[in-house]
Structure 1
């Protein structure tokens, strides 16, 4: 299955257990908190980890995601009633409705084709009020993260809340012009194996800056990691904050 972590009811809890709160969440929470009581859009909110924390911090949060099983998991979590959950993609966003928009966990990379990415940025520009901010992360292609997506370096054990364990590993299958195909392998507690394939686009800092400028954004800063490091000196990330 493609994108099984978000669409397969058996894999959504595995993804949720593996992807816990981290320094990336601290960064995005701090960015949003710079605007008190903000109207926040979390586009590609997944199972809601950050959206719930933003709501608990006093913001008015809308979590938007096209994956129904991920949103179902988000709605079951404590505090979920504080968030407006919407199963949709960016064309459904209302005009000038938000002060801040975030796209986290490398959501930006699922927009592989340039026209798809440009449409998403146009939708975000339309959905933000004038002066509103957009923050997102994307892996820096110079870090070549996909080279570590192999059965040896990516092998891991994921602990589920009920104490059971899932064995997992990743392997990339093709790299071409900034586009990477890969497959996650999961061995569930009952021994069954589930596969989840995906394709991601790795855009350079220059490409991100150019696309944001074309969509009407001004780039305020780009970091290479979650603690404000320069590009190329941090966590292999391109962490972007821009203003509409």
Structure 2
């Protein structure tokens, strides 16, 4: 078995793989339909007919981002050198499936602060299904978690296992 860590666009050739996996909610950084379509087309090109593409996205109906408040997201971690870092998130309201949030890092011993600004797309299952079909994936098996639990409107995750035509 060969394993590759790369973007789909970086892998050369066609119809080489039986399985492609995208984890860590990476699907959500694809903010526009065009970016999703390009990624899906590249993955489809690399899969053999009948090959599968598995990935997850946070279910917008679950509204997990509402718990990303400074109070609920606050954590303190000890780094390997013993230094502490305090972390919390600030989230702006969801606008047209897109969410902007900032992760704040504070190193109290140094008095240093850093802010990382991020954007995610919370696409609903019908949108994901439409884009998968357009890229040549059918059928799609939908799950509410990586253990294969059934998808429900209240599921935390949307896990898609899409088959390349």
TM-score, normalised relative to structure 1? 0.62
Aligned mate of 1:202, from 103, 114, 122: 122
Q: Tell me the residue number matched to 1:101.
A: 20
Any unmatched runs of 5+ in structure 2?
A: none
How far apart are the structure 2 equivalents of 1:122 and 1:177? 24
Q: Tell me the residue number matched to 2:151.
A: 231
Is the counterpart of residue 190 in structure 1 residue 132 in structure 2?
A: no
Aligned mate of 2:91, from 172, 175, 179: 172
Q: Tell me the residue number matched to 2:67.
A: 148
How far apart are the structure 2 equivalents of 1:116 and 1:236? 24
How far apart are the structure 1 equivalents of 2:90 and 2:139? 34
Is the counterpart of residue 111 in structure 1 residue 30 in structure 2?
A: yes
Q: Secondary structure at the match of 2:4?
A: strand
Q: Secondary structure at the match of 2:92?
A: strand
TM-aligned CA deviation for residue 233 of structure 1 = 7.2
Is the counterpart of residue 90 in structure 1 residue 4 in structure 2?
A: no
Q: Secondary structure at the match of 1:203?
A: coil
TM-aligned CA deviation for residue 134 of structure 1 = 0.5
Instruction: Tell which structure's C-alpha radius of gyration is larger.
Output: 2
TM-aligned CA deviation for residue 104 of structure 1 = 0.3
TM-aligned CA deviation for residue 237 of structure 1 = 0.3
How far apart are the structure 2 equivalents of 1:226 and 1:129? 23
Q: Tell me the residue number matched to 2:43.
A: 124
Cα offsets for 1:138-159 (capped at 9, x unmatched): 0000011111111011111233
TM-score, normalised relative to structure 2? 0.89
Identify, as 1 or 2, the structure richer in helix: 1
Any unmatched runs of 5+ in structure 1?
A: 1-36, 38-59, 65-88
Q: Tell me the residue number matched to 1:48.
A: none
Structure with the larger RCO, 1 or 2 (CA within 8 Å, 6+ apart): 2
Q: Secondary structure at the match of 1:63?
A: coil
